[in-house]
């Protein structure tokens, strides 16, 4: 079951950019691609905790600003030789508003 929360307008995020959403479990990075697709993942890089929201967004991937690991935003999976995965969250855009599924975010906090 999904639990959608409005976190803001699509235009709050620059194209090929990201903004943060603070949660009890830490920051979630919300990305917007050049084609206006939106993705949400944990902000913290599994390598050395680099802030992924500060990375360069290209295609549907983002490059961590600290040591250039590249993550596929669809899966959160590190690309190429690097191994690691970031948790991703369901997200949707309706009428220019961004909706985040906080179900898993709160389910984890409850556990």
Partner 1 sequence: MTEKLVIIGAGMASGRALEELLKQAPDAYDVTLFNAEPRGNYDRIMLSPVLSGDKKFDDIIIHTSDWYEENGVTCRFGEKVAKVDRERKVVIAENGDEVPYDKLLFGTGSNPFIIPLPGHDLEGVIAYRDLEDTNRMIALGEKPDAKAVVIGGGLLGLEAAAGLKLRGVDVTVVHIMGHLMERQLDEAAGYLLRKALLDKGIKVMCSANSKEIVGEDGHVKALMLDDGTELPCDLLVMAVGIRPNVALAGDAGLSVGRGIHVDDQMITSDENILAVGECVEHDGNIFGLVAPLYDQAKVVAKTLIGEEATFVQREISTKLKVTGCDLFSAGDFAEGDTREDIVFRDPARGVYKRLVLEDNKIVGAVMYGDTADSNWFFGMIKSGEDISEMRETLIFGPAFQGGAPLDPMAAVAALPDDAEICGCNGISKGEIVSAINDGATDLAAVRAVTKASGSCGTCTGLVEQVLGVTLGDDFVIPAAQGMCNCTDLSHEDVRRMIKSQELKSMAAVMQECGWKTSCGCHSCRPALNFYLLADWPLEYQDDPQSRFVNERNHANIQKDGTYSVVPRMWGGITTPDELRAIADAADKYNVPTVKVTGGQRIDLLGVKKEDLPAMWYDLNQAGMVSGHAYSKGLRTVKTCVGKDHCRFGTQDSTGLGIKLEKLLWGSWTPHKVKLGVSGCPRNCAEATCKDIGIVCVDSGYEVSVGGAAGMDVRETELLAKVATEEEAIALTTAFMQIYRENAKYLDRAYKWVAKVGLDWVKEQIVDDLAQRAELVERFELSQTIYRKDPWAEQATPEYNRKKWQPMADLSLEAAE
User: 2: which 2 tokens?
Assistant: 């999904």
Q: Judged by CB under 8 A, which of 4, 19, 93, 104 binds partner 1?
A: 19
Give dist(CA 24, CA 109) in Å, integer: 7
**Residue 75 CB, nearest approach to partner 1 (Å):** 17
Q: Which of residues 58-97 bind partner 1 (CB under 8 A)?
A: 58-59, 61, 63, 65-66, 68, 70, 80-81
64 is an interface residue for ligand FES by CB under 6 A: yes
SS3 103: helix
45 is an interface residue for ligand FES by CB under 6 A: yes
Which CB atom, from 69 or from 102, has the smaller least distance to ligand FES?
69
Q: Judged by CB under 8 A, which of 51, 87, 90, 93 binds partner 1?
A: 51
User: 83: which 2 tokens?
Assistant: 């191994």
At residue 75's C-alpha, the angle toward residues 87 and 51, to 5°, is 50
Q: Of the listed pieces 6-14, 20-28, 64-72, 99-107, which binds ligand FES according to CB under 6 A?
A: 64-72
Give dist(CA 21, CA 96) in Å, integer: 17
Are 106 and 28 within 8 A, CB to CB?
no
């Amino acid at each position: 079951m999904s639990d959608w929360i409005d976190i803001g307008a699509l235009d709050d995020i620059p194209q090929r950019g990201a903004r943060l959403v603070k949660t009890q479990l830490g920051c979630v990075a919300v990305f917007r691609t050049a084609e206006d697709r939106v993705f949400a993942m944990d902000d913290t890089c599994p390598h050395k905790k680099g802030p992924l929201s500060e990375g360069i967004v290209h295609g549907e991937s983002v490059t961590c600003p600290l040591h250039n690991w590249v993550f596929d935003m669809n899966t959160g999976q590190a690309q190429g030789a690097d191994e690691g995965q970031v948790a991703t969250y369901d997200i949707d855009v309706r009428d220019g508003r961004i909706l985040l599924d906080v179900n898993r975010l709160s389910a984890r906090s409850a556990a």
